Amino acid sequence: MAKIGLFYGTDTGNTRKIAKFIVRQIGDDVVDIFNVAKVTPEDVAKYEFLIFGTPTLGDGELQDDWQMLLPNLDSVDFTGKTVALYGLGDQNAYGHEFVDGLGIIYHALVKTPAKLVGGGWSSDGYDFEKSKGLIDGDFVGLVLDQDNQADLTKDRIAQWVDQIRGDFGL
């Protein structure tokens, strides 16, 4: 088993594509990748190091499969686990609920003993009104906008992976 479990949800494939970029950046041999539509909390529980990725859909809502899984993660003991988050959104069309899904996962995990890393992500360079993914002006994880800023994605991923490398023992 690889030492990092990356769990993503997706409606139209963007968050899966980003998952694959992240895995390539970290190294194929150290990351197992899962679609949350097909997992149980036990799959999550197996990993000491976790990456969770979600788009925001509806009006500031979590992706459907994440909506199903997240409440069930109550059964997972996050003691000793390190978790990093990434979220996708569309800042032009949904500037009042930009990457809210990222914030929804964050606020669920912050109640657990998990060590949350990969936050403090600067909101400079994004143009939006409001986001549940912000704490003290910074995002709680990596934020990507494939609808408007796809050209920035690879550099953002490279920078973020460098940020979490030490926390993930890489």
Ligand X SMILES: Cc1cc2nc3c(=O)[nH]c(=O)nc-3n(C[C@H](O)[C@H](O)[C@H](O)COP(=O)(O)O)c2cc1C
The answer to whether residue 12 forms part of the interface with ligand X (CB under 6 A) is yes
The answer to whether residue 146 forms part of the interface with ligand X (CB under 6 A) is yes
How many angstroms separate the CA atoms of 35 and 97, rounded? 24
C-alpha 132: how far from chain center: 14
What type of residue is 140?
A: V
The answer to whether residue 125 forms part of the interface with ligand X (CB under 6 A) is no
Task: Work out which of 24, 46, 58, 122 binds ligand X, going by CB under 6 A.
Answer: 58
Tokens 């609808």: give the residue. 147
Tokens 């490279």: give the residue. 158
* Range in contact with ligand X (rule: CB under 6 A) among 22-30, 43-51, 91-99, 158-166: 91-99
Task: Work out which of 4, 15, 66, 143 binds ligand X, going by CB under 6 A.
Answer: 15
- CA quadruple 122, 77, 105, 39: dihedral, nearest 10: 120
Contacts to ligand X by CB under 6 A: 10-15, 55-60, 88-90, 94, 97-100, 146-147
